[in-house]
Chains A and B, each alone.
Chain A
Amino acid sequence: MEKRVRFKSGWLPWVLIAPQMAVVLVFFFWPAGQALYQSVLSQDAFGGSVQFVGTENFDRLFADDSYLNSFKTTAFFSILVASIGLSVSLLLAVMANRLMRGSGIYKTLLIWPYAVAPVVAGVLWLFMFASPMGVVAFFLRSMGFEWNHLLNGNHAMALIVMASVWKQISYNFLFFLAGLQSIPKSLIEAAAIDGASPWHRFWTIVFPLLSPTTFFLLVINVVYAFFDTFAIIDATTHGGPGKDTAILVYKVYYDGFKALDMGGSAAQSVILMVIVVALTVIQFRFVEKKVQY
């Protein structure tokens, strides 16, 4: 879409767009270029000798078991966060949508975690499971379940999944609710007259019509699990025990700023960029499809 009527000025548009372009060039394109450039260089930790090594950094990464494991950890983590987060929010949204009264109050009570910083979410959940005073850890122990996220990798994973899902429920809930409200009532009424039960109506009418929203949220949740959960992990498990919860973003940070392996960290950044580009392309393809639909 284009405007028919425009202003004429040789210099004004350049001035108007200059601030945005300055930030974009200096803080996005230049560093991204640097990442690409450094990923093919090898540098010692003191910044002394630099040499071109081609794909060696990448070869080293893909030969590195801890990096490959980090991929698996990230995939496992994202699948858990997305699937649990989406099903819980969908359940709540469907329930809120069918109520005539009170859904506004429930909405207000469910959306505030969006405002909580991921690191604060991590601290809150850590507190519930911390030994010895953590309420939930105590409750589990009294039921004979020994909780220890400092030693047990599965427990640590469960902890970061719960904190991440908790933080994301409000977002998913709002989008599901908006999606549900846009489904024409007449369709559901027609099915009801034909004698379809609420359960049947949900799976044959509501759920298929909601699929664009679900797919959109799926992509958003995977992106969230990949990138925004860094703070949750840094607050709760530090990627441990061992490397059991070190997702890719945490590893980029750790290798670059703690282990000072710049080449390796830059190569990891490049791989992450490829992943983001792939996810964005998937998302936009889907958006186009939805317009036709």
Chain B
Amino acid sequence: MIERRPGLDLLSHLILLLGVSIVAFPLYLTFVASTQTAEQISSSIPMSMLPGNHFLESYRLALFGGETSLGSKVPAVWPMMQTSLISALIISIGKISISLLSAFALVYFRFPFRNLFFWMIFITLMLPVEVRISPTYEVVSNLGMLNTYAGLTVPLIASATATFLLRQFFLTVPDELVEAARMDGAGPMRFFKDILLPLSATNIAALFVIQFIYGWNQYLWPLLVTTNEDMYPIVMGIKRMLAGEAYTEWNVVMATAILAMLPPALVVILMQKWFVKGLVDTEK
């Protein structure tokens, strides 16, 4: 603290509290809506701002599906959460694994076309899914990967950012470790497994947080490659609830929204240290 300015401190707290409440307000409203019935939400104008007492009903309906009191059918969200979890894990673990291997190859070996490979991985940064949607869709459909976990995950698994982060880290690992390992007769894979991997643990944790959220929140790609309801991730299912019926069951939609936010939000809050590290490191 440079100087004491109690007035300014108070102002800072007020501004931050205002900011926090604006950021949190949509979440609060979502929670409130998920504890009411659909009729309560749509009949009162505006909806009540206090939590209702239909918490369990809304979440049971959202998780396991079924008929609402008005007779419209609600799809079960639980299988969608499983799909999301499986694809997010495949994407994050897959990205980290293939990036570890390729960064290891790029740093610890000299082989023809090494620089070419490096640049090819680098260029993928400039080709996000959004700019090549229809041709990528064609490739995936030609390979027969529509409506499969492979189709949902493999096209997203290449990662320039993870490869670079790990490459930068490997370059800072002292050469003496390699020499010592070689002197003890350890081959490259032994060195990778017993020395490099344990050293990279914090970087891997940081990358995992970022990539898990990335995988869980995918929307456009699943929208293209899944047509079978069994393969819908939750983020996509929630959108379909809005579009599907003329009459939106807001309580179920909002319960689903909470369920869709919960896993990545928990990952961010519980692994905050690694999250911040991962965010700052992958972007710089």
Contacts and interface: CB of A to CB of B under 8 A. Distances in A.
Interface of A: 1, 3-10, 12-14, 16-17, 19-21, 23-32, 34-35, 38, 88, 91-92, 95-96, 98-100, 102, 106, 108-121, 123-128, 132-135, 137-139, 166, 169-171, 174-175, 178, 185, 188-189, 192, 198, 216, 220, 227-228, 230-231, 234-235, 249, 252-253, 256-257, 262, 265-266, 269, 272-273, 276-277, 280, 287
B26 A124 contact: yes
Contacts of A5: 175, 178-179, 182
Nearest to A135: B46
Nearest to A170: B23
24 contacts: A3-B107, A5-B178, A7-B178, A7-B188, A9-B188, A13-B111, A13-B114, A23-B154, A23-B157, A27-B136, A96-B16, A114-B213, A116-B261, A132-B46, A169-B23, A175-B283, A178-B276, A227-B130, A230-B220, A231-B235, A235-B239, A249-B130, A252-B133, A273-B126
Nearest to A230: B220
Contacts of B104: 16
A138 B163 contact: no
Interface in B26-84: 26-27, 29-30, 33, 41-42, 44-47, 49
B8 A198 contact: yes
Nearest to B159: A20
Contacts of B269: 108, 111-112
A272 B130 contact: yes
Contacts of B125: 280
B120 interface: yes
A26 B120 CA distance: 12
List the 3 shortest-distance A-B pairs measured between CB atoms, nearest first: A31-B135, A115-B264, A138-B46
Contacts of A9: 109, 188
Contact of B235 (A8, A119, A126): A119
B8 A30 contact: no
Contacts of A13: 105, 109, 111, 114
A92 B20 CA distance: 9
A34 B29 contact: no
Nearest to A97: B12
A38 B138 CA distance: 12
B15 interface: yes
Contacts, number: 299
Given A20-B163, A192-B3, A256 B26 contact: no
B138 A31 contact: yes
Contact of A119 (B45, B171, B239, B267): B239
Nearest to B189: A12
Interface in B165-186: 171, 175, 178-179, 182
B279 to A, nearest CB: 6
Instruction: Name the residue among B9, B25, B111, B253 with the largest chain A CB count within 10 angstroms.
Output: B111
A34 B140 CA distance: 13
B247 interface: no
Interface residues of B, number: 108
Contacts of B109: 6-9, 12-13, 16
Contacts of B149: none
A31 B220 contact: no
Contacts of B235: 117, 119-120, 231
Nearest to A103: B16
Contact of A120 (B98, B138, B213, B257): B257
A32 B139 CA distance: 11
Given A119-B236, A273-B132, 13 more contacts: A6-B108, A12-B189, A14-B111, A30-B139, A95-B12, A95-B16, A96-B12, A120-B260, A138-B45, A169-B19, A169-B23, A234-B239, A280-B126
Given A95-B12, A124-B26, A269-B131, A24 B120 contact: yes
B102 interface: yes
Contacts of A174: 276, 279-280
Contact of B283 (A88, A220, A272): A220
Nearest to B192: A16
B279 A256 contact: no
Contacts of B275: 111, 114
A100 B30 CA distance: 33
B238 interface: yes
A266 B135 contact: yes
B20 A109 contact: yes
A273 B125 CA distance: 11
